[in-house]
Chain A
Amino acid sequence: MSDETIDRTRLPIRRPPFSGVAEQTLGGSRPDWAQIGHVKPPEGSPNVLVVLIDDAGFGNPGAFGGPIDTPNYDRIADQGLRYNRFHVTAMCSPTRAALLTGRNHHAVGMGGIPEASSGFPGYSAMLPKDAAPFPKVLKENGYSTAAIGKWHLTPEKEQGPAGPFDHWPNAWGFDYYWGFLAPEASQFDTMIAENQKFVGVQEGKDGEPFYFPEAMTDQAIDWLHGVRGHDSEKPWMLYYSTGCSHSPHHVSKEWSDKYKGRFDQGWDKLRGETFERQKKLGVVPTDAILTPRDESMPAWDSLDENRRRVCARQMEVYAGYSENADHHVGRLLDSIEAMGELDNTIVVWIWGDNGASLEGTPSGTFNEGTMLNGLPLTDQEQLQLTLKWGGLEAWGTEMMYPHYSSAWAWAGNTPFAWGKQVASHLGGTRNPLVVRYPQRITDNGGLRSQFTHVSDIGPTILEMVEIPQPMHVDGIEQQPMTGASFADSLADANASEHHTQQYFENFGNRAMYKEGWWLAMRMPRIPWRLDPDVLKHFAPGVWKPDEDPVELYYLPDDFSQATDLSASHPEKVKELQSLFWEEAEKYHVKPLLAGFAGFFGILPPIGTITTNTYHGVVQNIAPGAVPRIYNHSYTISADLHIPDDGAEGVIVAEASHLGGFSLFVQDGKLKHTYAFLGVFEYRQESRNELPAGDVNVQMIFKADEAKPATPGEVTLLVNGEPVGGGRMDHTVPFIFSGYAGMDVGLDNGLVVDRSYAEKAPFAFTGTVQKVVFDVAPHLDDQDEHAMHEHASQSDIARGISG
């Protein structure tokens, strides 16, 4: 069916009326072959490729004057257009939701992050059924659709075999999905989900180690080849979303060493160099002013030699990691070209779902998990722990979960101030966009400066493929897309601006844009601070948002937000403040900080389940679904069968040496290792070897008290008898890992205790019959509430890095 008369405003498209003849028997009957046909898109519909890079800034890629070599981004920009006033939200999931739905992020429930579904419509993380994503629209109109790579749009509590699956990628309109659902992932032992199932850590190809950017590209190419092999005409839509350049910054030395010495001048000078290149390229006007460094970030010259060298290496790794992502997008583009389809493909490539991430703290960190857990480490301790896990040689390898200094991120957002999370400023919200589509673009390598927003992508693509925005989908009336198509700007550099007004809001930082004016309303909180001392200023009844300091900019004359006009234009400040609240009302932005509600004691209902039972070998339990063992007493009990000649291997393990625990058998003994974020390791073991036959083993952690990071005593028991134990002076308060899962019967991916790394995944050689977690022994109601509150906060802390 590709008839002009098809009503595409109601999806799914109904089957056509039967136009044949059906008699009592085949005699005299005439089939209508349209009954077994499929909906087809309008004649000549092109393919669509949307590429999204993670956690990167306006001043990162070479194509926008940055220091990172991006030959493929350059290629697409030179064969297409650069958009230098393109905007995203300042956070991961909100940008992704706006991108795919063509609507404001709060309007589709994604004002916050899926780790912290909140009881307010703008923050539920539950895609409403009245906001069909544009890939679903394409699919229902006859496209093949796939999403490959990072997802981060599924509520964490739904990430398991029990679902529900309404918010997994398939339900967003993708025929096929392969990637990871979490906010971030190790690039070397990524816990992969395929369609509606976790398939876990994968092997590399040809005996080489697994590397996610390579593997996801292979998957994307395989999918394209499969579609084309099956149907020579059907157009496709591919959403290719990299884990790069999000922490952990994982890349081989081959890539990072290309940048050796290229950042020794430091972030202050790098910023100036980038700015000059940007002006030369034309992506920044020549009269723009470079904004100054905020005092929360150190001057490069203030660092001692150790820190300068370590910081320089941090950026070398980030740059190599980013260039590697560009390389793999290039492979994908090459394969599309080899299929003869590149010129019939609309390529939309966004470099960064938000500005570069400031979450590494000023020193940078060997393990971003320390920041997520609110563990304050001094610069010296960061150096010591870097040393502990292999020094700079290991920065970029799986041995660390590294994130560079916040000052590098700031430099990556040149020429703007701030970065990720800071929705009030362009450092968090203005990112590079390039578009290639030779059938419309005639001035290859041209520049477009219309104000555009990530929610415009869906409407633009639909207009270009001549498919209307549907009024009804699955019987549900749709909220209109709020993005505005900029399709006319492809052919016309002087096309008028259609997106004239836009609010911005993430975690309380906000801005209101209207016809060139930008009111910046930044909360006085820096992005790496989530501690009570800071948050108390934003508590209900304390925080008065309109009393936050404001800055006013007129962007047509002030590209970088360098000249604050708020003092001279108080009436404009007032107008935009009011307009923000109108928009907030309309799109469910209120109440501000709903995504932080857990920090202020506003909690989802307490779950009633306090035991988790795993029968047999269970693998790839998502981080958010791991039993809540934090901050209170708990017990792990396992029923095992030990053969006569003994057994070894892992009974149950979560995450890695950078945060996690493992209960295992080694040298015949029961052992427990608790990795406190790569800072301390606590080990206990049984005095004697385990007996053969059916055996029950237990690990009892008795917390000193139910409180965050509580110390406590571990007791190991075999068949009910204490056999060993020891004290743990620190425990992880929030979460072991942002991405690594739990396994019963083995330790997939990076292991918890390096003593069995050579035998990884160290599968148990006896039989694990059952493992039971009891997460609420001895808790009274008050403790239970306190721990529930803390757990809610931990979800936010984890997700905020996404």
Chain B
Amino acid sequence: MSDDKKDVLIAAYLFEDLAKRDFDAVLKLAEDKAITVEGVVLVQKDTHGEVHVTETGDHLGRKGLKIGGGAGLVVGLFAPPLLAATAVGAAAGGVMAKFAKHRVESGIAEKMDDALPPGSGGVIAIYDSGGADAVDKALPNAVKKSVAQIDGMSANELKAGLAEAQAGMGG
């Protein structure tokens, strides 16, 4: 972790393809090492309010559907129950609870819950706060952006918990 403070950003979109365009732009920043990214996730919230992960990207700007590490951190902070479907399985209730607790205590939950209304697309990213300007410029199509912060230590703890849970699931 190169920076103590991390921004947790949710950018909301009216159009899924525009969200994808911006998602790719943020990943390009990561690939070019213009910013330090934990993970980026492209999601769609359906009209019933259910969130679906469409695509993920890691700290090197690589896309992939396997959700772990930084992408898992993103998913977990945004919607802990999604971890069950995407990363750790339904049995790993402990790690989900950790994420849920952190969301509430840090105030992230309050900021994030309404950030993505039903029917919208979203780009969710966690990156070093120093890259905020660059990320902001990479998201020209976002209709609304909400930013919360998480300290590096907490992020590490959550990621470690996630890795542990994933290991348990695997073995």
**A interacts with B:** yes
Report A's interface with B, CB cutoff 8 A: 304-306, 309-310, 380, 383-384, 386-394
- A384-B141 contact given A309-B15, A390-B118, CB 8 Å threshold: no
Q: Cα distance A384–B120 when bound, in Å?
A: 10
Which residues on the A side are within 8 Å of B141 (C-beta)? 305-306
Closest residue of chain B to A391, judged by CB?
Answer: B119
Closest residue of chain B to A310, judged by CB?
Answer: B14
Q: Cα distance A394–B118 when bound, in Å?
A: 11
Q: Which of A309, A386, A388 has the most CB of B within 10 A?
A: A388
Closest residue of chain A to B140, judged by CB?
Answer: A304
Chain B 129-162 near chain A by CB (<8 Å), digits 1 or 0: 0000000000011011000000000000000000
Q: Assess the A388–B117 pair: CB atoms within 8 A.
A: yes
Q: Assess the B117–A393 pair: CB atoms within 8 A.
A: no
- A390-B143 contact given A309-B14, A309-B15, A383-B14, CB 8 Å threshold: no
Q: Assess the B18–A387 pair: CB atoms within 8 A.
A: no
Q: Which of A309, A310, A386, A387 has the most CB of B within 10 A?
A: A387
- A384-B144 contact given A310-B14, A390-B47, A392-B14, CB 8 Å threshold: yes
Closest residue of chain A to B116, judged by CB?
Answer: A387
Q: Cα distance A762–B14 when bound, in Å?
A: 32
Known: A305-B18, A306-B14, A384-B12. 8 other contacts (CB 8 A): A383-B143, A384-B144, A387-B119, A389-B117, A390-B118, A391-B14, A391-B117, A392-B14
Q: Assess the A390–B119 pair: CB atoms within 8 A.
A: yes
Q: Which of B15, B47, B143 has the most CB of A within 10 A?
A: B143
- A405 CB, min distance to chain B CBs, angstroms: 16
Q: Which of A388, A391, A393 has the most CB of B within 10 A?
A: A391
The answer, among B15, B47, B119, B143, for a CB contact under 8 Å with A384, is B143
Q: Cα distance A392–B120 when bound, in Å?
A: 10
Question: What are 10 pairs between A and B in contact, CB < 8 Å?
Answer: A305-B18, A306-B18, A306-B141, A310-B14, A383-B143, A384-B12, A384-B144, A387-B117, A387-B143, A394-B119
The answer, among A380, A389, A393, for a CB contact under 8 Å with B143, is A380
Secondary structure at the B interface, as helix, strand, loop or mixed, is loop
Q: Assess the B117–A306 pair: CB atoms within 8 A.
A: no
The answer, among A306, A383, A387, A393, for a CB contact under 8 Å with B47, is A393
Q: Cα distance A389–B120 when bound, in Å?
A: 10
Q: Cα distance A393–B143 when bound, in Å?
A: 16
Which residues on the A side are within 8 Å of B18 (C-beta)? 305-306
Tell me the B10-29 residues at the A interface (CB within 8 Å).
Answer: 12-15, 18
Q: Cα distance A305–B119 when bound, in Å?
A: 19
Number of interface residues of B (CB under 8 A): 14
Q: Cα distance A391–B120 when bound, in Å?
A: 7
Q: Cα distance A383–B143 when bound, in Å?
A: 6
The answer, among A306, A388, A389, for a CB contact under 8 Å with B15, is A306
Which residues on the A side are within 8 Å of B13 (C-beta)? 387
Q: Cα distance A387–B117 when bound, in Å?
A: 7
- A260 CB, min distance to chain B CBs, angstroms: 14
Which residues on the A side are within 8 Å of B47 (C-beta)? 390, 393
Q: Cα distance A391–B140 when bound, in Å?
A: 18
- B169 CB, min distance to chain A CBs, angstroms: 35
Q: Cα distance A383–B11 when bound, in Å?
A: 13
Q: Cα distance A391–B18 when bound, in Å?
A: 14
Closest residue of chain B to A389, judged by CB?
Answer: B117
Q: Cα distance A617–B18 when bound, in Å?
A: 50
The answer, among B12, B117, B140, B144, for a CB contact under 8 Å with A390, is B117
Which residues on the B side are within 8 Å of A305 (C-beta)? 18, 141
- B62 CB, min distance to chain A CBs, angstroms: 27
Q: Cα distance A13–B119 when bound, in Å?
A: 63
Q: Cα distance A305–B140 when bound, in Å?
A: 10
Which residues on the B side are within 8 Å of A386 (C-beta)? 14, 143
- B146 CB, min distance to chain A CBs, angstroms: 11
Q: Which 8 A-B pairs have the closest CB atoms?
A: A391-B119, A383-B143, A384-B144, A388-B117, A390-B119, A387-B143, A391-B14, A387-B120
Closest residue of chain A to B118, judged by CB?
Answer: A390
Tell me the B23-57 residues at the A interface (CB within 8 Å).
Answer: 47
Which residues on the A side are within 8 Å of B118 (C-beta)? 390
Closest residue of chain A to B114, judged by CB?
Answer: A388
Tell me the B92-142 residues at the A interface (CB within 8 Å).
Answer: 117-120, 140-141
- B19 CB, min distance to chain A CBs, angstroms: 11
Which residues on the B side are within 8 Å of A384 (C-beta)? 12, 143-144
Q: Cα distance A392–B17 when bound, in Å?
A: 14
Q: Cα distance A305–B17 when bound, in Å?
A: 11
Q: Cα distance A210–B18 when bound, in Å?
A: 35
Q: Cα distance A304–B143 when bound, in Å?
A: 11
Which residues on the B side are within 8 Å of A309 (C-beta)? 14-15
Which residues on the A side are within 8 Å of B119 (C-beta)? 387, 390-391, 393-394
- B113 CB, min distance to chain A CBs, angstroms: 13
Which residues on the B side are within 8 Å of A391 (C-beta)? 14, 117, 119-120
The answer, among A310, A387, A389, A393, for a CB contact under 8 Å with B12, is A387
Closest residue of chain A to B142, judged by CB?
Answer: A306
Which residues on the A side are within 8 Å of B14 (C-beta)? 306, 309-310, 383, 386-387, 391-392
Which residues on the B side are within 8 Å of A306 (C-beta)? 14-15, 18, 141, 143
- A549 CB, min distance to chain B CBs, angstroms: 39
- A71 CB, min distance to chain B CBs, angstroms: 32
Closest residue of chain B to A388, judged by CB?
Answer: B117
Q: Cα distance A380–B18 when bound, in Å?
A: 16
Q: Cα distance A324–B15 when bound, in Å?
A: 27
- B111 CB, min distance to chain A CBs, angstroms: 15
Closest residue of chain A to B21, judged by CB?
Answer: A305
Q: Cα distance A386–B18 when bound, in Å?
A: 16
Q: Cα distance A754–B18 when bound, in Å?
A: 29
Which residues on the A side are within 8 Å of B117 (C-beta)? 387-391
- A311 CB, min distance to chain B CBs, angstroms: 12
Which residues on the B side are within 8 Å of A383 (C-beta)? 14, 143-144
Q: Cα distance A669–B1 when bound, in Å?
A: 48
Q: Cα distance A310–B13 when bound, in Å?
A: 12
Q: Cα distance A304–B120 when bound, in Å?
A: 18
- A255 CB, min distance to chain B CBs, angstroms: 20
- A491 CB, min distance to chain B CBs, angstroms: 55
Q: Cα distance A157–B10 when bound, in Å?
A: 48
Q: Cα distance A383–B144 when bound, in Å?
A: 8
Closest residue of chain B to A380, judged by CB?
Answer: B143
Which residues on the B side are within 8 Å of A394 (C-beta)? 119
Q: Cα distance A383–B18 when bound, in Å?
A: 14
Q: Cα distance A357–B15 when bound, in Å?
A: 28
Q: Cα distance A290–B12 when bound, in Å?
A: 40
Which residues on the B side are within 8 Å of A389 (C-beta)? 117
- B149 CB, min distance to chain A CBs, angstroms: 22
Q: Cα distance A659–B120 when bound, in Å?
A: 23
Q: Cα distance A389–B47 when bound, in Å?
A: 10
- B43 CB, min distance to chain A CBs, angstroms: 14
- A632 CB, min distance to chain B CBs, angstroms: 30
Q: Cα distance A75–B118 when bound, in Å?
A: 43
- A159 CB, min distance to chain B CBs, angstroms: 36
Which residues on the B side are within 8 Å of A392 (C-beta)? 14
Q: Cα distance A393–B121 when bound, in Å?
A: 13
Q: Assess the B144–A387 pair: CB atoms within 8 A.
A: yes
- A111 CB, min distance to chain B CBs, angstroms: 42
Closest residue of chain A to B144, judged by CB?
Answer: A384
Q: Cα distance A389–B143 when bound, in Å?
A: 13
- A257 CB, min distance to chain B CBs, angstroms: 16
Q: Cα distance A72–B71 when bound, in Å?
A: 56
Closest residue of chain B to A392, judged by CB?
Answer: B14
Closest residue of chain B to A393, judged by CB?
Answer: B119
- B117 CB, min distance to chain A CBs, angstroms: 5
Q: Cα distance A306–B139 when bound, in Å?
A: 12
